[in-house]
Amino acid sequence: MATKTSKGLMPENFYMNMTYSLSQNSVYKIGNVKSYIYQELTFNSYTAGKIGEGRILCSRQNPASEPSVSVVSNSQDRISVAYILNADKSMDIYVSVKGVNITLWPSHPKNPYSLDIVLETVNSIPDGAVLFEDV
């Protein structure tokens, strides 16, 4: 039960407190990671009478390494996700949205290892970027 001090059955840090709107046929740099990361993002869209949902999962245990996990559940092929490992070992994450508008949000926004999302519209995913694996 929700009260003034309790959010109900789920802890407060599991509640979505921010969403990001990504426009169709656009590419975004969604953030830069300088250290460890455990990021789970959820996205959805609505088109032609169908709701499309998916998750983006990215984690790396070592601040100088590539991600140990970089997957996207994308059965309706609505986005592509990729990363670039920079010379300073930071990592940039990109999302390319296909023919639908997407709403994106962090699944655990108060996780201290989450990506600080800062949307920046870019022309394309850079050459040499590593695509997240579709699952």
Q: What pLDDT, in 10s, does the model give residues 96-134?
A: 998 889 988 887 767 777 787 889 999 999 999 999 998
Q: What is the dihedral of CA 108, 109, 111, 112, to 10 degrees?
A: 160
Residue 26 predicted with pLDDT over 70: yes
Please state whether beta strands 133-134 and 69-72 pair in parallel, antiparallel, or not at all (unpaired): parallel
Domain spans in the chain, listed from the N-terminal domain onward: 14-134
What DSSP character marks residue 89? S
SS3 of residue 122 by DSSP: strand
pLDDT band at 1 (very low <50, low <70, confident <90, very high): low
| pLDDT recorded at residue 24 | 93
Fold observed for domain 14-134: Immunoglobulin-like (2.60.40)
- Measuring CA to CA, which residue among 83, 53, 87 is closest to residue 68? 83
C-alpha R_g of the chain: 15
